[in-house]
Structure 1
């Protein structure tokens, strides 16, 4: 009986473990393959559709990144090199003209960090004081002084020099930085065309008034801020003051060429004295100097672009800082610098005959102003109780006496330095 049960179990196992293949309908299998093929094809199409905009997005991003990198490199090139030496000039006496904004202010800021005693010579004492206080706060150097200097007035130049001589007996560095650019036709207080009068003649007089003190402080330096735009300049011997015709860019170019001629000629005159004279081109800098070039509406549009593609004031100050500071330039004189390196100049910027002519002409123009200032206007004297003036020659004293009315008393005496005549005219009416 047990044998029968075992046989039944074996037969049942064989039936339930049958591995025969399952037969399906051929059409159903084909339909499944078709559906699967269609799904795969749709997936591929979707991937192709999605990949096209993705590729363009990557291309656009690549272009933008490349453009930004190129612009960054161009900006770094435009900014130029920096003066990197960290030498100090503690207690050295410095004058910087036109320094309440722009590259002048940046120059004072850097010199103050290095310990200099600085006289800020500016036309606007209020703006100068604001800049002075800001620099003191940033540098903790309190040896920064605000002094008024209006370069459109030779009288102001003389007063500034007189005041400085009373305060100091040395001057280690003079930086003639101030200037005007492409202004409408205007005259200085002395009747000179504004650009040649301010950029050249006023600095010519200031430098000569301070020269004895600079020489006594040797080794000392004079830095003249000129411009590469001198390339288009020419000295108009027959119309230096642009009285026959005036073009603001032409007048500016002339004044910058005059800066270079003056600095080179002065360097030759000071050879062997321990005083160096060099000039420089600061670059195309985003400052207030160009305010006369662009109208306000255009300026509002161009400002963002200018901010990026023009030098910053700090970058613009680097070349004159090197000329003022670099120990390796202590004996280098008579050169033109651009982006902190010495650069060649055109023959017209080193024409010795033109240098001599311009020097003599500048002296002549300044002397003529002084003589005119020394001549007394008799009508004004008659309306005043007392008038005091300084005269240089006996002929001028004689002229005053001849034109003085009977009711006027004249007293003649030397001034305290004994180098000029003081006349006092008193109206007894």
Structure 2
């Protein structure tokens, strides 16, 4: 299926989908796509006003769509815990958990818990959120956890001796570390889910023209702008990972065109470092220690 689009999403009626960062860009298009096929969508967002505006727009696009809001700030482990508890109180199962939200190549900063901002938000926040909700995900037959990575994982290394970049901060290296961590997390989670009906997959949007790119260095943005694609296209790998019955746990989806920058979604390959089992397990252990969250698998 070389031209997979939103119209190929199977009927999602009755399924519950939680999308982090669902109020804008790729997350919004992911949420809108799922809602258009009947899913009950929860926008897990930091700004509730922007979330309401996004929810209203989705309903205008798909009259009758079931869209609700959940406040979530991934830079705060306390917020992650509160959000998870509220979702657990209102949902006995979650069929799709889409770990989409993130930051990209930001100036040096830290989360509310003191973690380097990109690693803390993109990886640790989602690690903790997934762990606190996993029993609800496991309760849904055929559930999926989809985590959004990036082409940028290719220039990432997990520097266990300096996760906070205290010895020197390079925003591209920090971003690469966080996006590589997304893949290491996905592959280790999939291994731990063996024997269940739940699967873990990853996706990347290619060069998508979302507001995430606002911190890109000027020359980099200029060089890649001709290859950018719309957020509607950029969301397709995530949507396919979440819904295509022909994809499998542990797979990674991205655009199928030139340099994986644009095009219709297909299964793609991640780099060798992402498949290092020892690093996967070490990152998992460190993430549990840093967040205080353990998984029921």
Question: Normalising by the residue count of structure 2, what TM-score does the alignment of the two structures yield?
Answer: 0.90
**Paired position in structure 1 for 2:116:** 193
Q: Does 1:337 align with 2:253?
A: yes
Across the two proteins, how many residue pairs are aligned to each other? 283
Q: Secondary structure at the match of 1:328?
A: coil
Q: Does 1:354 align with 2:279?
A: yes
Q: Does 1:363 align with 2:281?
A: no
Could you list the structure 1 runs, at least 4 aligned residues long, displaced by more than 4 angstroms after superposition: none
Q: 2:61 & 2:271 partners in 1: Cα distance?
A: 41
**Paired position in structure 1 for 2:236:** 318
Q: Does 1:109 align with 2:2?
A: no
**Paired position in structure 2 for 1:155:** 78
Q: 1:217 & 1:125 partners in 2: Cα distance?
A: 27
Larger Rg over CA atoms: 1
Q: Deviation per CA, 1:62-114, whole angstroms, max 9, x where unpaired?
A: xxxxxxxxxxxxxxx9xx85354252110200000011111110111111111
Higher RCO (C-alpha 8 Å, min separation 6):
2
Q: Secondary structure at the match of 1:273?
A: coil
Contact 1:115 1:141 in 2 (8 A): no
Q: Deviation per CA, 1:217-252, whole angstroms, max 9, x where unpaired?
A: 121001010011111110101101111111001000
Q: Does 1:272 align with 2:195?
A: yes
**Paired position in structure 1 for 2:129:** 206
Q: 1:208 & 1:133 partners in 2: Cα distance?
A: 30
Contact 2:40 2:66 in 1 (8 A): yes
Higher helix share: 1
Q: Deviation per CA, 1:315-347, whole angstroms, max 9, x where unpaired?
A: 000111111111223xx1112222222222222
Contact 2:76 2:112 in 1 (8 A): yes
Q: Deviation per CA, 1:356-411, whole angstroms, max 9, x where unpaired?
A: 1000001111129xxxxxxxxxxxxxxxxxxxxxxxxxxxxxxxxxxxxxxxxxxx
Contact 1:120 1:146 in 2 (8 A): yes
Task: Say if 1:235 and 1:113 are closer, same or farther in 2 by CA, change over 3 A.
Answer: same
Unaligned 5+ runs, structure 2? 256-264
Unaligned 5+ runs, structure 1? 1-76, 369-429
Task: Say if 1:221 and 1:179 are closer, same or farther in 2 by CA, change over 3 A.
Answer: same
Task: Say if 1:86 and 1:341 are closer, same or farther in 2 by CA, change over 3 A.
Answer: closer
Contact 1:113 1:141 in 2 (8 A): no
Question: Normalising by the residue count of structure 1, what TM-score does the alignment of the two structures yield?
Answer: 0.63
Q: 1:249 & 1:361 partners in 2: Cα distance?
A: 22
**Paired position in structure 2 for 1:17:** none
Q: What is the RMSD of the two structures over their aligned residues, measured on CA atoms?
A: 2.1
Contact 1:112 1:141 in 2 (8 A): no
> Superposed, which structure 2 residues align to 1:205-354 within 5 Å?
205-294=128-217, 306=225, 309-329=227-247, 332-339=248-255, 340-354=265-279
Offset, 1:216: 1.1
Which residue of the other structure, out of 131, 135, 153, is the alignment partner of 2:54?
A: 131
Offset, 1:141: 2.8
Q: 2:227 & 2:266 partners in 1: Cα distance?
A: 21
Q: Deviation per CA, 1:42-68, whole angstroms, max 9, x where unpaired?
A: xxxxxxxxxxxxxxxxxxxxxxxxxxx
Q: 1:165 & 1:120 partners in 2: Cα distance?
A: 15
Q: 1:92 & 1:81 partners in 2: Cα distance?
A: 21
Contact 1:83 1:319 in 2 (8 A): no
